[in-house]
Structure 1
Amino acid sequence: MPRQVDHDARRREVAEVAARLISQVGVERVTVRELAKAAGYSTAIVSHYFADKRQLLLFTYQAAAQAAQARVDAVLEHAPDDLIGTIEALLPLDEARHREWQVWLSFWGMAIGDPEFAAEQRGRAFNTRKRIEKVLRTMADNGKLAKDTDFDLIARELLTMVNGLAVQAGFDPADWPPESLRKVLLQAVKPLTAKA
């Protein structure tokens, strides 16, 4: 009897290898052939799961975004008003998150000229901003933030900070180690909680 294959697990495995290759050589230099070789599969198997490189890259981007969302969900399940934990879950504070940001940065370049990729990027950014805004509102409900705070504006500022820090850390990780990222984050949120 032939062995059962978990197709979703195999797609995720290929996407993880793609993310690793993207972080090492950039999205332009990743080929289906090189990816198949790195994953230990034939190009036929990779092509069975992904019609082309574009579909593979979109899936890889979505997988990275889902991993980040799962980290945020875990933080908020434990403490729905944990702003620092929420933002730390998004920052490149370890190797896996650094790799995710390399994928996202590569994807951003592609999204400039591709309406589907651009829509995906807009949707992810919007959802992340709204999640940050929800945390801020929960903080206000719990007395940790002033009720008259402009939640949308602060969420936009914090998302912009996350993106900026991640870009800097992505291109110069030696100058932006996790402790520096956390220090900037703490400095940014300090004035918020002082207003409660």
Structure 2
Amino acid sequence: MPKIIDHDQRRKDIVDVTWNLIVEGGIEAATMREIASRAGFANGALKHYFSGKDSIVKGAYESSLHALSERLDAHVAGKRGIEALEDSIRFTLPIQEEDATAARVLLSFWERCVFSPELNHDYDEHLSGWTTEYLQYLKEGREDGDILNPTSDAQLANEIIMMVLGATVTRVVSPAFFVPEILEAQVTDYIARLRRSDLP
């Protein structure tokens, strides 16, 4: 009787191996040969599961994003406005060590995005969804009377995204510069600014 192969599990195994390789040594460490070796495949066998390296890196990125989204959704469930916004920012920033580790995969994904229109498009869609979520929380915060800052919601959403992305890069490249306490204080200060009408 032929052996039944769980293809979904094999794809997951390949993604997990790639994720670990990127965390250990960056995108350069995640060669197709090394991914195949670590996952227990013969050279060339990966093509049965992924079209190429970009596809595998995308899988590793989406795995990290899915794990973060699940934790975030559970944490902000039932919340709205400025409370949901603050929790979302705190969970998106690489404050916890596991998030700082996942950020290494994100940086590798960004590098591939520069040279891959397909990956770049996928990330553009992610940023669009991310912006929409922040805009909703900001709208609710104004409706609730918690957000008084006169800056437009579009600009505030952009500021939040730039803060998160900048902190992500710095946390990975120079972890001693943005320790968790500094990131926590940054969020506290930012939320306080949103509550004031006399600050831009």
TM-score using structure 2 length: 0.84
AA aligned opposite 1:173: P
**Counterpart for residue 63 of structure 2:** 63
- The share of aligned pairs that are identical, in percent, is 28
| CA–CA distance in structure 1, aligned partners of residues 70 and 186 of structure 2 | 24
AA aligned opposite 1:98: A
**Counterpart for residue 105 of structure 2:** 103
Q: Cα distance 1:44–1:156, how it changes in 2: closer, same or farther (>3 A)?
A: same
CA deviation map 1:170-191 (0-9, x unaligned): 1111232222211112122211
CA contact (8 A) 1:19 1:99 kept: no
**Counterpart for residue 176 of structure 2:** 174
* Alignment pair present for 1:29 and 2:29: yes
AA aligned opposite 1:115: P
**Counterpart for residue 86 of structure 1:** 88
| CA–CA distance in structure 2, aligned partners of residues 136 and 68 of structure 1 | 21
| CA–CA distance in structure 1, aligned partners of residues 13 and 101 of structure 2 | 15
AA aligned opposite 1:169: R
Tell me the SS of whatever aligns to 2:146: coil
RMSD, aligned CA: 2.5
TM-score using structure 1 length: 0.85
Q: After the TM superposition, which residues 129-144 of structure 1 pair with which residues of structure 2 at under 5 Å, given as runs?
A: 129-144=131-146
Deviation of the 1:161 alpha carbon: 0.4
| CA–CA distance in structure 2, aligned partners of residues 139 and 45 of structure 1 | 51
Q: After the TM superposition, which residues 185-196 of structure 1 pair with which residues of structure 2 at under 5 Å, given as runs?
A: 185-195=187-197
**Counterpart for residue 13 of structure 2:** 13
Deviation of the 1:96 alpha carbon: 2.8
AA aligned opposite 2:80: P
**Counterpart for residue 124 of structure 1:** 126
CA contact (8 A) 2:149 2:194 kept: no
Q: Structure 1 unaligned runs (5+)? A: none
Deviation of the 1:168 alpha carbon: 0.7
* Alignment pair present for 1:157 and 2:154: no
Report how many residues are paired: 196
CA contact (8 A) 1:141 1:147 kept: no
Tell me the SS of whatever aligns to 2:76: helix
| CA–CA distance in structure 2, aligned partners of residues 9 and 98 of structure 1 | 26
Q: Which moved more, 1:184-193 or 1:32-41?
A: 32-41
Deviation of the 1:71 alpha carbon: 2.8
AA aligned opposite 1:188: Y
CA contact (8 A) 1:11 1:49 kept: yes
AA aligned opposite 2:60: T
Tell me the SS of whatever aligns to 1:62: helix
CA deviation map 1:107-153 (0-9, x unaligned): 21221222111111211112111111111112222221139651111
Q: Structure 2 unaligned runs (5+)? A: none
